[in-house]
Amino acid sequence: MEDIATAFPAVEILRHEPLAHYTHTKTGGPADFLAFPTNVQETKSLLAYANQLGLPITVVGNASNLIVRDGGIRGLVMILTKMAQITVDEAAHTVTAAAGAALIKTTQVAQAHSLSGLEFAAGIPGSVGGAIFMNAGAYGGEIAAVATAAEILTQAGEIRTLTQKELDFGYRHSSIQDYHDIVLTATFTLEPGDGTAIQAQMDDLNAKRAAKQPLDLPSCGSVFKRPAGHYTGQLIQEAGLQGLKWGGAQVSTKHAGFIVNIDHATATDYLELIHHIQTVIWERDQVHLETEVRIIGEEPHA
């Protein structure tokens, strides 16, 4: 197993690296091996090598809507944020972004070319790959409406291009979750627009986000999916849980749908608080709060 770091001298590979250094919650245990590939070939070669060694593989984007348990992740973790190229085809009105490109940066590139359709994502802190994986959305928009293709790497090492239909988007869902493919690039088909008007809409949405969300504290974003017929934050508020502290984690006093790290929280603090909220809301309202945040990794050893 130790050979993986020496086998790829051109790739930054860290051993036993705490993932708390990378997650937006500032929590998470260590990865056995943490690699930062810079291109498709490195990603493909790392996948093949890990498969050959029998190492489990976990792919992470910007780690913004993610909780890594305190036991960390065994095998190889790849963070793709060094794969961040963004290109524009003005004739086709498309923006193609590598998986590790910041979604916010991608919206800015679209605006700079007067292309409309990604405004809703102007404040979403994830990566493009994560946005495809989760079908990210905000303010009535979602990735499914504009993502028309994605180049992926299958677990068998085959590079394929998936159509919008093959991506099988649903609420916070895509086929990437079902088949554990690795997103390499995504293509967004947009509409010609007025750059100034696009920027004004992005500014307006970002102002709304800043007014309502606890952007000044570490968090994993919106913790729960919206249950049919309800608003998650309202349910949590009405149950008297807003402001509740659990270890170093707290239900945000600014937006009850968020859990923030106020005092060196652990992932266990987050997960126990999530479970407590789910239990209270079920007992009080008979509503099951399903997590939107992706939870991965192992429980800490006793």
The CATH number for 290's domain is: 3.90.78.10
Tell me, what's the pLDDT at 256?
97
Mean pLDDT by 10 residues, the chain (302 residues): 82 97 98 97 97 95 96 97 97 98 98 98 96 96 98 97 97 94 98 98 97 96 95 97 98 98 98 98 97 96 72
Classify residue 178 by burial, with Cβ atoms within 10 Å: 0-12, 13-18, 19+. exposed
Backbone angles phi, psi at 223, to 5 degrees: -75, -40
Residues 90 and 67 in one domain: no
Q: Active-site residue among 172, 174, 175, 252?
A: 172
Q: What is the pLDDT of residue 302?
A: 63
Are 130 and 45 in the same domain? no
Query: Is 294 part of the annotated catalytic residue set?
Result: no
Domains identified in the chain, total number: 3
**From the candidates 116, 174, 222, 252, which is the catalytic residue?**
222
Closest residue by Cα to residue 258 from 218, 200, 202, 208: 218
Whether residue 301 is contained in a domain is answered as: no
Q: From the candidates 42, 119, 151, 292, which is the catalytic residue?
A: 292
* Pair 254, 213: CB distance under 8 Å: yes
205/220 same-domain check: no
Q: What distance in Å separates the CA atoms of residue 82 and residue 68, rounded to the nearest whole number?
A: 21
For the question of residue 172 being annotated catalytic, the response is: yes
What are the two backbone dihedrals, phi and then psi, of residue 156, each rounded to the nearest 5 degrees?
Answer: -85, 0
Does 139 share its domain with 206? Answer: yes
Residue 219 falls in the annotated catalytic set: no
**End residue of a domain, out of 156, 190, 210:** 210
My answer on whether 38 and 90 are in the same domain is: no
pLDDT of residue 1: 47
Residue 11, domain extent: 3-79
